[in-house]
Chain A
Amino acid sequence: MQTDLLQEARRQAEICNACRYCEGYCSVFPALHAERAFSDGDLTQLANLCHNCRGCYYACQYTAPHEFDLNLPQALANVRQDSWEDLAFPQAAGRAFQKNGVAIAVATVIGFALLFWAARALAAQGGEGFYAVLSHNAMVAIFLPAFLFPLVSIAISLRRYWQRVGAGPFRTAHLVKALKQAGNMKNLKGGHGDGCNFEDEDRFSHTRRMAHQAVMYGFLLCFASTSVATVMHYALDMPAPYGIFSLPKLLGISGGLLMVLGCAEMIRLKLRSDRALGATQAFGGEVAFVGLLGFVGLSGLLLYALGQTGAMPLLLVLHLGAVLAFFLLTPFTKMAHGFYRLTALVVDAQR
């Protein structure tokens, strides 16, 4: 990890610990107050508890031009970003993608290209609907590894995280508590339930929390849709296509809509927000990633809407290409934050 980033976060954490005015905004402060001195692991944990809601920045009497120059959201964002790069497996991929919108775009294009190539080379003779473009077996052959690899990678990273922050033994009760907090994004309510300070200086609003919820639940619905479809395909012998009132479609369409709206709103908020309160270098990478996620949702919806038209093969390949890129990039982009955040909340529940 970069020692200068850690050093700066440590300096600021020590000032906050002497001040304590922000106790109550989020989980960071009670965790911070439990320490007197901050190891690199402590700072990594604090950084991953922070949601960059900025409540503490606007409430701080020590922000620039004050000589103490506090900007805790930024200091923690930098450490957090750096920790994701550092803990990623393989690490080189973390370095390449975390901050790099261009790399994400390139990876996505490569995802499409692979799919186009596969579609031509492995096109199923005689399949119906989508499978006329790409056989079911070919899809599985491509997506199964693309799905398993990120899982393995993230598992390794989280294990490293667990060790680095010096967490205690794992308990289900802690996980349940963490899931509850993540489920309603308690920490984005700002402690007083008025929300956070993301888009308009010190004005509190729930917009970011709601956008965030939309993306998270939209993603989970889409994921559920795919899972249900898989079960239907293999266990119940009910292959696609499915009608509009089928479970996969209902989950998928509502999830897709939520995801598209949520991602669009997240990008709008990011563009409005003051970049100097986040990890400035990661800005491009984050926007690119949210864009990719939104595109996954959008192309999925379009595919559904235009599935009976001549545009279908093109849309299918675009959608699957985006999904492929998304999965492969998951451990190395902003997507990883969800996993780290949840882990940090589990560790925090041990306190």
Chain B
Amino acid sequence: MTRTEDTPDIVVIGGGNAALCAAITAAEAGARVLILESAPKPYRGGNSRHTRNFRCMHHGPLGPLVDSYTEEEYLADLLKVTGGKTDEHLARLAIRTSEDCLPWMEAHGVRFQPSLSGTLSLARTNAFFLGGGKGLVNAYYRTAERLGVQVRYEAAVTHLDLDDNRIAFVDYTQNGETRRVTPKSVVVASGGFQADTDWLARAWGPAAKNFLIRGTPYNRGVVLADLLHQGIEQVGDPTQCHAVAIDGRAPKFDGGIVTRLDCVPFSIVVNKDARRFYDEGEDVWPKRYAIWGRLVAAQPDQVGYVIIDAKSLNLFMPSVFPPIKADTLEELAQKMELPADALAQTVAEFNAACGDTSAFHPTELDGVSTTGITPPKTNWARPITEPPFYGYSLRTGVTFTYLGLKVDENAQCAIGNRPVTNLWAAGETMAGSILGQGYLAGFGMTIGTVFGRIAGKEAAAHAN
């Protein structure tokens, strides 16, 4: 049975950063807002719960940010990672508005870390949330509540009914019951579809079944699929997803940041046949972090194995699971279920190819490289000789997908060439409109904040 409810002006679908920014903005404009969040309260906030920072343009020191970071520089950084697959108009809009966002975030309860240890290179471009994304999400929920926004948890939206060029009603399930609301405006901010591994497998092939999902299990793309089926304009490539190589022992969902591994540059990485397959020393790790997701995905069973020795153990950030440790390479191979002879041979060949290591420098491209093997290791190439030996397994960890709803500069969705009069989208669900491929650290939260606020404002203007 479907129960029709007395409904507020605006329904916001999702409960992460983009949804909250939209809800707060709309409520401040005087609209009555209802948030429908599919997750239970402890898991509210989707992938935004797992984030750490926000990339922000600024003309001079701003909040925790030092120096300045101009529109042109920001855009250049974006073009580099996307290889030019960017809608420049929307990208500039996001970048330019980001400067306004930081004070707005602070005014709505978000607190930043003072620019401190370990992240100096980012102190100029990225503002770090105190307590991380969950702290941000909590602050926004408090603010939204104070503004009278209603929140329903465990309320999963199943269908938005498109009637000509407007959304007539929204169906969702709660407590096993289907309910229907008929708001004047709808904002979709329900993330990507990465948690639906069947969908991933349809796009990627069966290998995707072995992928781990770094974030929330609730972003299953239900609303996205529903809208695309009804002909709403789409953007982005279904086969594209942002994926990194994470600890193979990470949980299937929601492992978050702690499952990342920073040891690859100081290691050799082999596949399950104990063969190397790519230059581990290609560049400093933050730059190369993302490509390893794809590299591992292309290996048999979608796994990789990192091998280091004692002298490298303290050169990288600690990770959540302790490494597998052994006194000999053979023993390590056995513990990691790798063919021992092949591993010994790979390591011996690699060691023989290493040359003078006196210039070794862990934090810069040091040019300490191998000669005469394929693939080469072009930096930080030191022989693996000093016991005990350590190993980590690697798997592909999906961060988010790129296929989404196409929006214009008002965050409005379209069908054919016409706008859908009462439908807006914000955050990951429309990020493909800007980010065609690749990823720029902290840009996800920028897109969500900028377009969340735009969507909220437009939705409220329509409703009033």
Whether the Cβ atoms of B318 and A61 lie closer than 8 Å is no
A residues in contact with B43, CB < 8 Å? 65
Measured between beta carbons, the chain A residues less than 8 angstroms from B52 are 21
Chain B 427-441 per-residue mask, 1 if CB under 8 angstroms from chain A, else 0: 000000000000000
CA distance A65 to B41 in the complex (A): 11
Interface residues in B, total, Cβ within 8 A: 32
- In the complex, the chain B residue whose C-beta lies closest to that of A35 is B318
- Shortest CB-to-CB span from A60 to chain B, Å, is 7
How far, in Å, is A129 (CB) from chain B's closest CB? Answer: 55
B175 within 8 A of A: no
Q: Which residue of A lies closest to B142 (CB)?
A: A203
Proximity bits, B122-166, A CB within 8 Å = 1, else 0: 000000011111110010001000000000000000000000000
Partner of B318, one of A14, A23, A25, A191: A14
Most A CB within 10 A of own CB, among B134, B142, B260, B322: B134
B42 touches A59 (CB 8 A): no
B138: which A residues are within 8 A, CB to CB?
A: 58-59, 202
B132 in contact with A59 (CB, 8 Å): yes
* Chain B residues in 8 Å Cβ range of A63: 42
Q: Which residues of A contact B319 (CB under 8 A)?
A: 18
Q: Which residues of B contact A203 (CB under 8 A)?
A: 142
| Min distance, Cβ A274 to any Cβ of chain B, angstroms | 13
CB–CB A36/B314 < 8 A: yes
In this complex, the interface size class of chain A, counting residues with CB under 8 Å from chain B, is: 20 to 34
In the complex, A102 has a CB within 8 A of chain B: no
Residues of A contacting B32 with CB < 8 Å? none
Cβ–Cβ contact A19 & B257, under 8 A:
yes
**Smallest beta-carbon distance A276→chain B, Å:** 13
A150 near B: Cβ within 8 Å? no
Whether A61 touches B320, Cβ cut-off 8 Å, given contacts A23-B117, A66-B254, is no
Contact B130 A61 (CB under 8 A): no
Q: Are B117 and A15 in contact (CB under 8 A)?
A: no
Chain A residues within 8 Å of B254, by CB = 61, 66
Chain B residue contacts of A192, Cβ below 8 A: 111, 130
Q: Check if A248 is an interface residue, CB within 8 A of chain B.
A: no
Known interface pairs A30-B117, A63-B42, A202-B138. Does A21 touch B318 (Cβ–Cβ under 8 Å)? no
- In the complex, chain A residues 27-80 whose Cβ is within 8 Å of any chain B Cβ: 30, 33, 36, 55-56, 58-68
Known contacts A21-B132, A59-B138, A192-B111: A15-B258 contact under CB 8 Å: yes
A17 touches B130 (CB 8 A): no
The answer to whether residues A65 and B116 also contact, given A21-B257, A59-B138, A202-B138 and a CB cut-off of 8 A, is no
Q: Are A59 and B257 in contact (CB under 8 A)?
A: no
Contact of A61 among B113, B116, B134 (CB under 8 A): B134
Query: Pick the contact of A191 from B130, B257, B322 — CB < 8 Å?
Result: B130
Q: Does B49 contact A (CB under 8 A)?
A: yes
State the Cβ distance, B127 to closest chain A Cβ, in Å.
Answer: 12
A190 to chain B, nearest CB (A): 8
State whether the Cβ of A194 lies closer than 8 Å to any Cβ in chain B: yes
Question: Residue A22 at the B interface, CB < 8 A?
Answer: yes
**A36 & B318 in contact (Cβ 8 Å cutoff):** yes
A-B contact count (CB 8 A): 84
CB distance from A121 to the nearest CB of B (A): 60
- Asked if B300 is at the interface of the complex by the 8 Å CB criterion, the answer is no
CB pair A56 B131 closer than 8 Å: yes
A24 within 8 A of B: yes
Q: Mark B301-337, 1 if CB is under 8 A from A, else 0.
A: 0000000000000100111101000000000000000
User: Is B256 at the interface (CB under 8 A from chain A)?
Assistant: yes
Contact partners of B117 in chain A: CB under 8 A: 23, 30, 33
Q: Are A24 and B318 in contact (CB under 8 A)?
A: no
Determine whether B50 belongs to the interface, using a CB cutoff of 8 Å to chain A.
yes
Chain A contacts for B256, CB-based, 8 A: 19, 61-62
Cα distance A14–B320 when bound, in Å? Answer: 6
Q: Is B251 an interface position by the 8 A CB rule? A: yes
Contacts of A36 in B (CB 8 A): 314, 318
- A59 to B51: give the CA distance in the assembly, Å: 11
| Given A15-B320, A58-B138, A59-B138: A22 and B131 interface contact (C-beta under 8 Å) | yes
Contacts of A21 in B (CB 8 A): 52, 129, 131-135, 257
Contacts of A18 in B (CB 8 A): 257-258, 260, 317-320
Q: A338 CB to closest chain B CB, in angstroms?
A: 27
Residues of A within 8 A of B318 (CB): 14, 17-18, 36
B43, B49, B256 — which one has the most chain A CB atoms within 10 A of its CB?
B256
* Cα A16 to Cα B262 with chains together (Å): 16
Q: For the complex, give the distance between the alpha carbons of A30 and B129 in Å.
A: 16
When C-beta atoms are compared, the residue in chain A nearest to B114 turns out to be A24
Return the chain B residue nearest A60 by Cβ: B134
A17's nearest neighbour on chain B, judged by CB, is: B318
Answer whether A22 and B132 are a contact pair too, CB < 8 Å, given A36-B314, A61-B50: yes
Q: Are the C-beta atoms of B134 and A59 separated by less than 8 Å?
A: yes
Q: Is A24 touching B134 in the complex (CB atoms < 8 A)?
A: no
Please, what's the 1-or-0 string for A114-144, where 1 marks a CB less than 8 Å from any CB in chain B?
A: 0000000000000000000000000000000
Whether B132 contacts A24 by the Cβ 8 Å rule is no
Q: How far is the CA of A203 from the CA of B111 in the complex (A)?
A: 13
Nearest CB on B from A198, distance (A): 15
Chain B residues within 8 Å of A55, by CB = 131
B133 partner, pick from A17, A24, A30, A61, beta carbons under 8 A: A61
Query: Would A19 and B130 count as touching, CB distance under 8 A?
Result: no
A58–B136 Cα distance when bound, in Å, is 11
B131 to chain A, nearest CB (A): 3
Q: Which residue of A is nearest B64, CB measured?
A: A24
B320 to A, closest residue via Cβ: A18
Beta-carbon nearest neighbor of B261 in chain A: A18
Closest to B52 in A: A21
Of residues 237 to 295 in A, which have CB atoms within 8 Å of B's CB atoms?
Answer: none
Contacts of B116 in A (CB 8 A): 23-24
- Provide the residues of chain A in CB contact with B135, threshold 8 Å: 21, 58-59
B residues less than 8 Å from A194 (CB atoms): 111
List the A residue with the shortest CB-CB distance to B133. A61
Residue of B116, B135, B314, B322 contacting most chain A CB atoms (<10 Å): B135
Q: How far is the CA of A60 from the CA of B132 in the complex (A)?
A: 8
The answer to whether B130 touches A25 (Cβ under 8 A) is yes
Complex: how many Å from CA A61 to CA B135?
9
Q: Give A26 Cβ to nearest chain B Cβ, in Å.
A: 11
**B118, B257, B314: which has the most chain A beta carbons within 10 Å?**
B257
Interface centre among A17, A20, A66 (most CB of B within 10 A): A20
CB distance from B453 to the nearest CB of A (A): 23
Residues of chain B touching chain A, judged by Cβ–Cβ distance below 8 Å, are: 42-43, 49-50, 52, 111, 113-114, 116-118, 129-135, 138, 142, 251, 254, 256-258, 260, 314, 317-320, 322
22 A–B contacts from the bound complex (CB under 8 Å): A14-B318, A15-B258, A15-B320, A18-B258, A21-B52, A21-B129, A22-B131, A23-B113, A24-B116, A25-B130, A30-B117, A33-B117, A36-B318, A55-B131, A58-B131, A58-B138, A61-B134, A62-B256, A65-B43, A66-B254, A191-B113, A192-B111
| With A15-B258, A33-B117, A61-B49 already in contact, 16 other A-B pairs whose C-beta atoms are closer than 8 Å | A18-B317, A18-B318, A19-B132, A19-B258, A21-B131, A21-B132, A21-B135, A21-B257, A22-B131, A33-B118, A36-B314, A58-B138, A60-B134, A62-B258, A192-B130, A203-B142
Q: Which 8 pairs between the two chains have the least Cβ-Cβ distance?
A: A59-B131, A21-B132, A192-B111, A18-B258, A59-B135, A202-B138, A24-B113, A18-B320
